[in-house]
A and B are shown apart, each in its own frame.
Chain A
Amino acid sequence: MLLLLGIFLSLSLGRYSNDPVKVLNVLLSKIGFDVPVDPAMVSIVFNIRLPRVLASVMIGAMLSLSGAVYQSVFRNPLVSPDLLGVSSGAAVGASTAILLGAGLATRQMFAFAGGILAVFVTSLVPRLLRNRSNMMMVLSGIIVGGFLSSVLAIIKFVAEEQTQLASIVYWQLGSLASILGRELLAILPVFLICSILLLLLSWRINILSFGDLEARTLGVNLRQVRTIVIICASLLTASAVSISGTIGWVGLVTPHLSRLLTGSDNTRSMPITLLVGAIFMLLIDTLARTVSNVEIPLSILTGFVGAPLYALLLYKQRTRLE
């Protein structure tokens, strides 16, 4: 409900006109009601605002859900798609694709390959060092992320300045301004399939979060379930990154917020995470395009909103973390 209201309000806000009644009329006329409409408004709502609103909803949901899943599977409330290097990996993959002049589909595939490779390496380091503490996982993520950001820098360095570099930088800052309906359609199947699979597996994800030993004594096919879950989460992150660049904080903050609302049981907290993420991103993107005359990059806003929010959440759950 809140999400639908948010979508409507966001559709109403923008540089051209801020009249919700006009927007309502546009929507009503679309579904067959005979109401007076402003033709310019129709075009703005359907061609500019709607793809963008849908994109922010989807991306918020994707990043949040994958964040929640990573936190459970890696038994670590501190990880997020960014920290595990998935976002950077996907960014490296996607910019390589831009460098090669590839199209949208290739960019998505490259982003996914980069993301999954990064999460694999990040989870390998603690295993190789035989130290599976939360801290080691965080450090490993920092190592992988740091390395990948250098790779990204090299890619930018060799990119052709006028065209490739510009599009990499623009894309990387995280903007939904240039989102196209086509791009949305490209990630929609990934969004639907992975989200549904993850929600179906949410109870098994609880069991994964107990650790390997307990999961195995409960007869869970550990390798199978964990592989499905990690691939789905990485696909979600990579798809989001491939169209919107890296957007920080969402995947870290919203799972915490949701657990605070519903408790830790993933069967309840995961659907809420999805919604909270969607609403959060919608809010951020609406702010990004309405607060000033210039479009503010999303990562800047998610940082401003997300970081203090995270601090507040940590304060609230301080007794739960050790």
Chain B
Amino acid sequence: MNALLQVKELGFSYDGSRQIFKDISFEVVAGEIVCLLGPNGIGKTTLLNCLARLREPLQGSVLLNGEDMADLPAREIAQVIGYVPQTLRPSFDYTVLEYVVTGNAPWLGTFEKPGPDHYQRAEEALEQMAISHLAQKAYTRISTGELQQVSIARAITQKARLILMDEPTAHLDYGNQLKVLRLIKDLSAKGYAIVLTTHNPDQVLLLDAKTAVIDHESKFHFGPWQEILTEQLLSAMYGVHLSLIKVEGIDRMVSVAPGL
């Protein structure tokens, strides 16, 4: 299958001297989940932002459907890539529907406004997220878990085929974290490719995803989690001892601390 996104020897630096990361290469195909894993401050979000062309990489390139993103206008990138930020900081109380309908922006001209079709597409996205009941609520007055769903609904309205998510579970309680992971799994089953950042290795196992790791020595690893994640790597990366064990009864691997 052709890769939706190809990352080639990507490197980034904020000031041109201190390298945040370098030599990052990997591919994402439709229907695939890729987790960017690593400790805080290692550059996961920066890498994600480079993939969305929110930041320009210092070295290397990112190809979208085989075309270098540096040569693509922002609008065309937005027709393929949706971005779900870690937190939304609303300043006006738009309704959920008014917010989600803005996902149509990359498909409309600068002076165009959304018509009935566009609102319908937004409503369908809300339905897909099972949050139609929120449509007329102010998006400033819903829970953070609901807000996450609203944000994903907008990416669906956008007809994005690749959805980038920055720490989608960061501000959620435990139940909502699992719900969002479930949602991500469903989206990938529908053919969406998803790249997300997380600092919880157990989420990679739960999602049964490919993993891209920037380790403590800034070395990059990529592949199915079974090939990448080892107790040594995890323990060295986080600076605490972590065990990877198979739990009988639920029949899956978990990453846990053996004790304090």
Residues of A within 8 A of B (CB): 72, 75-77, 134, 200-204, 206-207, 209-211, 213-214, 216-221, 224-225, 259, 263-265, 267, 320
Provide 19 A-B residue pairs closer than 8 Å at the C-beta atoms, listed in order of the A residue. A75-B91, A76-B91, A203-B112, A210-B102, A214-B85, A214-B88, A216-B54, A217-B52, A217-B54, A217-B78, A217-B83, A219-B73, A219-B75, A224-B110, A225-B110, A263-B94, A263-B95, A264-B94, A265-B95
* CB contact between A265 and one of B77, B94, B103, B105 (< 8 Å): that residue: B94
* CB contact between A203 and one of B77, B79, B114, B138 (< 8 Å): that residue: B114
Asked if B102 and A218 sit within 8 Å, CB to CB, the answer is yes
Question: Smallest CB-CB separation from B76: which chain A residue?
Answer: A219
The minimal Cβ–Cβ distance linking B163 to chain A, given in whole angstroms, is 11
Chain B contributes a number of interface residues (CB within 8 A of A) equal to 34
Asked if A201 and B111 sit within 8 Å, CB to CB, the answer is yes
Given known A-B contacts A76-B91, A211-B89, A265 and B82 have beta carbons under 8 A apart: no
- B94-113: CB near A (< 8 Å → 1, else 0) gives 11001000110110001111
Residues of B within 8 A of A (CB): 52, 54, 73-79, 81-83, 85, 88-95, 98, 102-103, 105-106, 110-114, 138, 140, 158
Question: Smallest CB-CB separation from B164: which chain A residue?
Answer: A217
The minimal Cβ–Cβ distance linking B84 to chain A, given in whole angstroms, is 9
**B158 to chain A: which residues have CB within 8 Å?**
218
The 8 closest A-B CB pairs, nearest first, are A219-B78, A217-B83, A219-B106, A219-B75, A75-B91, A218-B105, A264-B92, A200-B111
* Interface SS majority for chain B: loop
Q: How far is the CA of A202 from the CA of B98 in the complex (A)?
A: 13
* CB contact between A219 and one of B74, B111, B113 (< 8 Å): that residue: B74
The minimal Cβ–Cβ distance linking A96 to chain B, given in whole angstroms, is 35
The minimal Cβ–Cβ distance linking A181 to chain B, given in whole angstroms, is 32
Q: How far is the CA of A266 from the CA of B258 in the complex (A)?
A: 54
Asked if B105 and A213 sit within 8 Å, CB to CB, the answer is no
The minimal Cβ–Cβ distance linking B69 to chain A, given in whole angstroms, is 12
Question: Smallest CB-CB separation from B52: which chain A residue?
Answer: A217
* CB contact between B78 and one of A204, A211, A218 (< 8 Å): that residue: A218
Q: How far is the CA of A211 from the CA of B88 in the complex (A)?
A: 9
Asked if A216 and B92 sit within 8 Å, CB to CB, the answer is no
Give me 13 other A-B pairs in contact (C-beta within 8 A), A206-B94, A263-B94 excluded.
A77-B91, A206-B98, A210-B88, A210-B102, A213-B54, A213-B83, A216-B74, A218-B78, A219-B73, A219-B75, A219-B76, A225-B110, A320-B140
Asked if B110 and A201 sit within 8 Å, CB to CB, the answer is yes
Question: Smallest CB-CB separation from A76: which chain B residue?
Answer: B91
Q: How far is the CA of A217 from the CA of B89 in the complex (A)?
A: 15
* CB contact between B113 and one of A202, A217, A220, A264 (< 8 Å): that residue: A202
Q: How far is the CA of A203 from the CA of B105 in the complex (A)?
A: 9
Asked if B89 and A320 sit within 8 Å, CB to CB, the answer is no
The minimal Cβ–Cβ distance linking A21 to chain B, given in whole angstroms, is 44
Asked if B113 and A267 sit within 8 Å, CB to CB, the answer is yes
The minimal Cβ–Cβ distance linking B100 to chain A, given in whole angstroms, is 12
Q: How far is the CA of A218 from the CA of B112 in the complex (A)?
A: 14
The minimal Cβ–Cβ distance linking B117 to chain A, given in whole angstroms, is 15
**A265 to chain B: which residues have CB within 8 Å?**
94-95, 98
Q: How far is the CA of A213 from the CA of B45 in the complex (A)?
A: 13
The minimal Cβ–Cβ distance linking A155 to chain B, given in whole angstroms, is 36
**B103 to chain A: which residues have CB within 8 Å?**
218
The minimal Cβ–Cβ distance linking A310 to chain B, given in whole angstroms, is 17
Question: Smallest CB-CB separation from A200: which chain B residue?
Answer: B111
Q: Give the residue among A204, A218, A259 with the most B Cβ atoms within 10 A.
A: A218
Q: How far is the CA of A200 from the CA of B109 in the complex (A)?
A: 11
Q: How far is the CA of A207 from the CA of B104 in the complex (A)?
A: 11
Question: Smallest CB-CB separation from B94: which chain A residue?
Answer: A264
**B93 to chain A: which residues have CB within 8 Å?**
263-264, 320
The minimal Cβ–Cβ distance linking A220 to chain B, given in whole angstroms, is 6
Q: How far is the CA of A308 from the CA of B113 in the complex (A)?
A: 36
Question: Smallest CB-CB separation from B82: which chain A residue?
Answer: A217
Question: Smallest CB-CB separation from A201: which chain B residue?
Answer: B111
Q: How far is the CA of A150 from the CA of B77 in the complex (A)?
A: 48
Asked if B105 and A207 sit within 8 Å, CB to CB, the answer is yes
**B106 to chain A: which residues have CB within 8 Å?**
218-219
The minimal Cβ–Cβ distance linking A259 to chain B, given in whole angstroms, is 7
Given known A-B contacts A203-B113, A267-B113, A320-B140, A219 and B92 have beta carbons under 8 A apart: no
Q: How far is the CA of A263 from the CA of B139 in the complex (A)?
A: 12
Q: How far is the CA of A209 from the CA of B98 in the complex (A)?
A: 13
Q: Give the residue among B103, B106, B111 with the most A Cβ atoms within 10 A.
A: B111
Q: Give the residue among A204, A207, A219 with the most B Cβ atoms within 10 A.
A: A219
Asked if B54 and A264 sit within 8 Å, CB to CB, the answer is no
